[in-house]
């Protein structure tokens, strides 16, 4: 693996780890792990209020602004979808 591909991979892994950390901190009793990146977060207990808390935490952690078009639960209802949004705005 080339150096730039490896560093890009490491960067992506760190983003995913931070997203998982945010989700587990904001969804009560959640145990989101790397093998559950595509599971619907509502199954872990995410509701509309929790979704807003997660968005705020993500924006603060990554110092970014999520586009309005993505501020719908259906657009970011899995850890992987949140990661993709962050990757697209980076």
For residue range 52-83, what is the model confidence (pLDDT) as tens digits? Answer: 999 999 999 999 999 999 999 999 999 999 99
* Residue linked to tokens 């490896």: 6
User: Tokens in use for 13?
Assistant: 């892994």
Q: What is the pLDDT of residues 2-54, one digit of tens each?
A: 556 668 889 899 999 999 999 999 999 999 999 999 999 999 999 999 999 99
Rounded CA separation 44/65 (Å): 25
């Amino acid at each position: 693996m080339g150096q730039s591909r490896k560093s890009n991979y490491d960067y992506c892994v760190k983003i995913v780890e931070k997203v998982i950390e945010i989700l587990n901190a904001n969804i009560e009793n959640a145990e989101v792990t790397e093998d559950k990146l595509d599971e619907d977060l509502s199954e872990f207990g995410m509701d509309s209020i929790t979704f807003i808390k997660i968005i705020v935490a993500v924006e603060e952690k990554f110092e970014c602004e999520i586009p309005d078009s993505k501020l719908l639960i259906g657009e970011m209802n899995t850890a992987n979808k949140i990661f993709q949004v962050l990757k697209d705005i980076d």
